[in-house]
Every structure is written in C-alpha cells, then in structure tokens.
Amino acid sequence: MKFAVSITTPEVQFNAPMALLEGSFEEKLKKAKEYGYEGVELVTNNPSVLNSEELKAALACYGLETAAISTGCILSTRGLTLISPDKGIRSESVKLLADLIDFAAEMNTKVLTIGSFKGTAALAGSLNDAFNYLDEALFTVDSKAGTKRVKLVLEPLNIKESDFLNTAQETIDYIVSRKFTNVRLLLDTYHVFLAEKNPLETFRLTAPYLEHVHLADSQRLPVGKGSIDFYGVESVLKEIGYKGWQSAELSRGSSPDLNAKITIENIKNALTNQN
C-alpha cells in the first residue's frame, strides 16, 4: 500500500479545506516525509503558472512521488465547473482539464481526480443537461488522457454535496454506459460510509474500476478519530489486490499538521493489525 497526503501547490494562495500541512511548499514536503507518507496529492487551480521541473526536483529531494493531481479547489477558487450552463465557463473548464492532464503527465502521475469540479445538476439546469455537459467534457479529453497515460477518476459525492452520481454503482454505470477508455473510479472513505448500504462490499464490487482512494474518517476527521472501520477497509483493499495510492483528504481544522500525522499513524496501524 502507498500513502499520500493532500497539499496545495504554490499558486493556491489560501488554505484549501481538504488540504493538509502548513508552511511553504518545501516545508509541507519535509513534513510529509517525516510523518511517513510516500507521496503527495497536489491540489492545484492553475497549472499554467507552475514549473513542473522545479516541483519534481523538490519532491525528489524528499524521496516523494506525486500520487495524484486534485481539482478539489477549482470550483471554490475559480468558480469553474464542467457542467456550468454558461458555455464560456464550460469551455474554460474543459481547457483547464486538458491543461491538468498535461500537468499530471509532467508530474509523473497517472491520476487526475474529479469531484466537486464536475458541478451539480441544479447548477446545470437539469439532470439531463448535467449528463450532456459532463459527456461533452469527458469525451473531449478522453483521448488526450490516454495519450498522456492519465486516468480521469470520478469521485461519487454524497447527497449533501452533490445531486447526481452519488454512489459508486451510479458512477460505474455512467462510466461503462459511455464507454470511456480513460475514466475510472475514485472512492473516498468519508463518502462511501455515508452513501453506501454496505461500505466494505462496495470496495469489493468496484474493484475492477477502482483507481484511487481518499482517506477521511466520519465528519472528515483524521483516520481513527471517527467511526469508520479502517481495519476493514485495509483488509478489503488487500483482498481485492488494490495497488494504487491512498491519499489523506480530510478537514484541515485548526491543526492540519497534527491531523496529517494522526492519519498516517492510524492508517498504518490499521494495515498492520488487520482482522
């Protein structure tokens, strides 16, 4: 198993709610390594201003890898979504998605996450519009993602945060029905244990499509501080032969460094002491 922590890239000039660690970019990398993480998930909103070679060199100094590129702060910082009713915003969002694919390839990661960046059906105008706009966006970049060897991973969000594609099965059905070649599934433990009737079985059933995992306890707490059965999660991930990254993506709260440290300690304990 490989574990990463979500951190913002240098151009993000605010504390993203689900990104951890304080300080400069290099200070965050140093802490990630010291705490026991093997990689970082980069939360970015404008890859065009970043120097990927400099970022890779910084990661290399600490023996870290890029686990994924996250779109998690794009809606909140730039107001962009893939299914906006405004054609201009949709076009800008798709262009940004294409740029993010390039950035992911430059950073030597095969994972680009899409959660809140997809938008909501209420914003799009209707559920039918939402799916049509999402189809348009993903089909536009699907081939490019394949060329760059990057997977677009869709994250089911619970009904409090999104009004479509709320469950793993709904998301898989969507991916399969469209016959995308480079779109896969992201499962976030926080959403899975809220939205699914049998959370652990969800990991088993989605194994053929699962590309990335986010770690957060109930109420977005650090792993081990809520009610989620992480011993069970790690046991099932081992059972299905999952080899991808698990990234800590949880509430920064008032102690983002401590939350990151608690999470890696407790998830490794869960991995070591599986039932």
CATH number (domain holding residue 192): 3.20.20.150
pLDDT band at 40 (very low <50, low <70, confident <90, very high): very high
Give me the pLDDT at residue 263, please.
Answer: 98
pLDDT digits (tens, 9 = 90+) for 54-63: 999 999 999 9
CB atoms within 10 A of CB 88: 8
Q: Cα–Cα distance between 44 and 11 in angstroms, integer?
A: 7
Q: Assess contact for 103 and 47: CB atoms under 8 A.
A: yes
Rg (CA), the chain: 17
Give me the pLDDT at residue 275, please.
Answer: 53
Q: What's phi and psi for 132, nearest 5 deg? A: -65, -45
Domain that holds residue 56: 2-272
Compute the average pLDDT of residues 147-152: 98
Give me the percent of the chain exceeding a pLDDT of 90. 95
Give me the percent of the chain exceeding a pLDDT of 70. 99
Q: Cα–Cα distance between 83 and 91 in angstroms, integer?
A: 10
Q: Cα–Cα distance between 224 and 226 in angstroms, integer?
A: 6
Give me the pLDDT at residue 160, please.
Answer: 93
Q: 13 pLDDT exceeds 90?
A: no
pLDDT digits (tens, 9 = 90+) for 214-255: 999 999 999 999 999 999 999 999 999 999 999 999 999 999
Give me the pLDDT at residue 46, please.
Answer: 96
User: Roughly how many angstroms between the first and final C-alpha of the chain, as a whole number?
Assistant: 17
pLDDT band at 201 (very low <50, low <70, confident <90, very high): very high
The token pair that represents 179 in the structure block: 């016959």
pLDDT digits (tens, 9 = 90+) for 93-115: 999 999 999 999 999 999 999 99
pTM of the model: 0.96
Compute the average pLDDT of residues 162-185: 98
Compute the average pLDDT of residues 255-268: 97
State the average pLDDT for the chain: 97
Backbone torsion region of residue 21, taken as left when φ is above 0, otherwise alpha when ψ lies between -120 and 50, otherwise beta: left
Compute the average pLDDT of residues 26-39: 99
Give me the pLDDT at residue 39, please.
Answer: 99
Total domain count, the chain: 1
Compute the average pLDDT of residues 177-183: 98
Which amino acid appears at position 103 of this protein? F
CA dihedral 253, 257, 258, 261 (to 10 degrees): 130
Q: What's phi and psi for 178, nearest 5 deg? A: -85, -10
Q: 119 pLDDT exceeds 80?
A: yes
Q: 274 pLDDT exceeds 80?
A: no
Q: Cα–Cα distance between 18 and 162 in angstroms, integer?
A: 17
